Structure 1
Amino acid sequence: MDVRFLGGAREVGRSAVLVNDSLLLDFGLLTADPPLFPVETPDPDAVVVSHGHLDHVGSVPALLSGSDRPPIHWTPPTFELALALGRDTLKLHGGTYACPFIHDDLKRVSEVSETHGYRESFSAAGHEVTFFDAGHIPGSAHVLVDDGETRLLYTGDFHTDDQRIVAGTTARPDADVVICESTYADVEHGDRTAIEERFVESVETTLWEGGTVVVPAFAIGRTQELLLVCEAYDVPCYVDGMGQAVTETLLRHPEFVRDPEALRRAKSHARFVTGRDGQRKRIAAQQAAIVTTSGMLSGGPAMTYLPEIAGDPTNKVTMTGYQVQGTPGRELMETGSAEIDGRRLTVSARVEGYDFSAHADRDGLRSFLASYEDAAVLVVHGDDTEGFAERLRGEGIAASAPELGARVDVGSQRRR
């Protein structure tokens, strides 16, 4: 089995792996200024998408701009989320370098879409493929690929611990080779209940003091997780941006959500923002938590709320997700200022970070890979893939960190 790494190798973002020059696993983008796309746009016979986050699915419509239209395989929620992300990208960046496709390409996605549930094997580009619940966001999947000689497990993004929105992964399918994400390979997540309690205490203190809390959050997965937290602790909150539509989408697929009834209650508890007639500026002056996109402050309604609350130290910004290097969110966390809509904004409001990660941490990754000690492990999707691979080798695992653009004969790495 031959594998090429067109993105996501020695970096976080733009995941894209081409198997046997015919089967493409993910085709995302890297959120930066300007955004980065996979190093090559291949012409695959089929595409398989692990989950509906921009860094894994954001460039998929660009594969349909030519005369060949490969089928795209994913779970039902991932299909709908991919369309929503595509529409959002066109709305924000259509006709610019930041958007690698046009409206017609996005329309074609529905024409070639094929959806599958977990543990339902299907054929794609001559390979047998099976999805397993990855415990990352609703619809996220580990992808097992079998070409008749080698069984390759592409983990996608995954979490081994339970979240409110989804349960942690328990799937450990047999595999000869594992392509494993490593986003939090050097981090140990704290106890989730303790993190929730610290977050809620901080928010409630700010509201009691008369302040406003802006909670930047990824629209898919993180927004719903935070709405569930706010409902559970009776924290008054608004939800703004694409996370509103995503919440509706996930409620249409209750079988992919850990507790659909809890999500329905959380939706009813939150107040949805329309954005009409200066509503956002009025809300920014209220004592409430505002859960809003984007999670890295690279666009969305957060760009309106942040300048409104930035000058008052009574207010607060609570970052709740991974901040890619070069994004305004990362800059704000490190320096207390960020470039927002083309101008430098110094933030006097308190800035805090909370680890609501949907990725496995160091211990979670190691416990997952304990089932694959006889397999070859290729480490991707991390800031220090080489360091993590070296640590795994020190524990007796045949691990390596492929370079961006590398071609690897994974069949030759199998342990006989």
Structure 2
Amino acid sequence: MDVRFLGGAREVGRSAILVDDSLLLDYGVKPGTPPRYPVGDVDPDAVVVSHGHLDHAGAVPALVAGDRRPPVHWTPPTRDLTRLLAKDTLKLQGASRGPGTGNARGGRYDCPFTRAEVARLGEVSEPHGYGEPFDAAGYEVTLFDAGHIPGSAHVLVDDGDTRLLYTADFNTEDQRLLSGTTARPDADVVITESTYADVAREDRASIEDRFATAVRETVRGGGTAVVPAFAIGRTQELAMVCHAHDVDCYVDGMGVAVTERFRRTSEFLRDPDAFLRACGHARFLDASTRDGQRRRIADEPTAIVTTAGMLSGGPAMTYVPAVAGNPQHLVALTGYQVAGTPGRELLETGSAELGGRHRRVAARVREFDFSAHADRDGLLGFLEDYRGSRVLVDHGDRCADFAAELRADGFDASAPERGERVAL
């Protein structure tokens, strides 16, 4: 067996790993203007998608362009989320305004797929539950709960000689939405993510308490708490946190549609009943909501959970400017802010490009780490069960450093570079 790293190696984004030029694990996008895609041409016999985030699934529709029809294996939530993300990508790029044939790309840059490819995913979709082995391109493949977002999976690939475990993104700590992963399948080789390899995170209960206290104090003082959040996983987690701490909240943006998908596949959640109670507690805004209504909501003493999590678009572009001028209000950032995004700029400078204008933000800005990735302790604890296995480190900003730390601790570890082929 050999693997080629087409993306996600020594970087976060565009994850794509090709096994024996036949089985493709993930096919993601690295967001930006323009976005970046995995390197090289690829025509796999089958595809396995670990979970429905852009950096792992954002380019999957391109794999069924032309006469190509590789089966795409995933869990039901990942299937639903990948199609939702693809439609949103086309909408953001203006492609949905093309002719009724669905073949217009439009937008500021070329998208590698059209509406036709998104629709075609339904023809090749092969959904699976956790722990159910299936055949893909001649390999026995099994998905295990990765605890990252609903439907996220570790991918175990077995060719009869070598057992390869691709962790994809994972979390070992319980969230309200999901339980942390406990899966530790036997493997000869482990490809592990390393996003938070240098971060020791405080316990989840403490993060929740600090967040809930800050929001409650803001609302009781007559202010508004704007809570930018990623649409997939984070929005739903925060709705559950608000419900658990008796904080009234609105939910706006793409997270509304994602929440509806999770209702349909609630068996993949930690506590479906608690999730539904939280949905009943929150006030969800629909796609017909206008900015004038959003500005009126921003005048209320309430919490507003809204996309985009890094302030790069979405309804947050209405809410944050609406509260920006008053220190009575709060902007509670709930996820990692990538360098170059308005969210990172706001954290570092107190101002950012928001809604087409550079603004100074007088509202209080606080950061709460609700990440759904394993931190350093979680990564090391997971890998401890694989001391006798070969470890390949990817999906991180310091993959080589983390691999060196693992080697110093007795692991057979390395960090492949993008485009590199590794014999196993």
Cα pair distance change 1:40/1:280, threshold 3 Å: farther
Q: Indicate the SS of the match to 1:204.
A: helix
Q: Indicate the SS of the match to 1:295.
A: coil
Question: Structure 1 residue 242 and structure 2 residue 217: aligned?
Answer: no
- Report which stretch shifted further, 98-107 or 391-400: 98-107
Q: Which whole-Å CA distance do the structure 2 matches of 1:369 and 1:290 have between them? A: 38
Per-residue CA distance 1:157-196 (angstroms, 9 max, x = gap): 0011111001010100011111000111000111111110
Deviation at 1:339, TM superposition (A): 2.1
Residue in structure 1 matching 2:220, options 201, 208, 211? 208
2:51 maps to amino acid: H
1:276 maps to amino acid: T
Question: Structure 1 residue 296 and structure 2 residue 310: aligned?
Answer: yes
Q: Which whole-Å CA distance do the structure 2 matches of 1:51 and 1:292 have between them? A: 22
Tell me the residue number matched to 1:149: 161
Tell me the residue number matched to 2:324: 310
Q: Which whole-Å CA distance do the structure 2 matches of 1:276 and 1:327 have between them? A: 26
Residue in structure 1 matching 2:264, options 252, 260, 268? 252
1:12 maps to amino acid: V
Cα pair distance change 1:53/1:255, threshold 3 Å: same
Tell me the residue number matched to 1:404: 418
Per-residue CA distance 1:280-322 (angstroms, 9 max, x = gap): 1111111111101111112211112111111212111111112
Tell me the residue number matched to 2:84: 84
- Report which stretch shifted further, 153-162 or 57-66: 57-66
Deviation at 1:340, TM superposition (A): 2.7
Tell me the residue number matched to 1:13: 13
Per-residue CA distance 1:315-366 (angstroms, 9 max, x = gap): 1111111222222222222222222344322222111110111010101000
Per-residue CA distance 1:68-112 (angstroms, 9 max, x = gap): 111100001110111111111111113232633111110111111
What number of residue pairs does the alignment pair up?
410
Aligned residues of 2:51 and 2:153 also touching (Cα < 8 A): yes
2:229 maps to amino acid: A
| 1:10-409 matches, cutoff 5 A | 10-93=10-93, 94=95, 95-96=106-107, 97=109, 99-274=111-286, 275-277=288-290, 278-409=292-423
2:116 maps to amino acid: D
Q: Which whole-Å CA distance do the structure 1 matches of 2:247 and 2:266 have between them? A: 24
Deviating beyond 3 angstroms after TM superposition, the runs of 4 or more aligned structure 1 residues are none
Q: Indicate the SS of the match to 1:131.
A: strand
Cα pair distance change 1:178/1:198, threshold 3 Å: same
Q: Which whole-Å CA distance do the structure 2 matches of 1:353 and 1:154 have between them? A: 31
Deviation at 1:207, TM superposition (A): 1.1
2:84 maps to amino acid: A
Cα pair distance change 1:327/1:120, threshold 3 Å: same
The alignment's TM-score, normalised by the length of structure 2, stands at 0.94
Q: Indicate the SS of the match to 1:255.
A: helix
Aligned residues of 1:217 and 1:320 also touching (Cα < 8 A): yes
Structure 2: gaps of 5 or more residues: 96-105
Q: Indicate the SS of the match to 2:116.
A: helix
Q: Indicate the SS of the match to 1:87.
A: helix
Q: Indicate the SS of the match to 2:199.
A: coil
Structure 1: gaps of 5 or more residues: 412-416
- Report which stretch shifted further, 362-371 or 244-253: 244-253
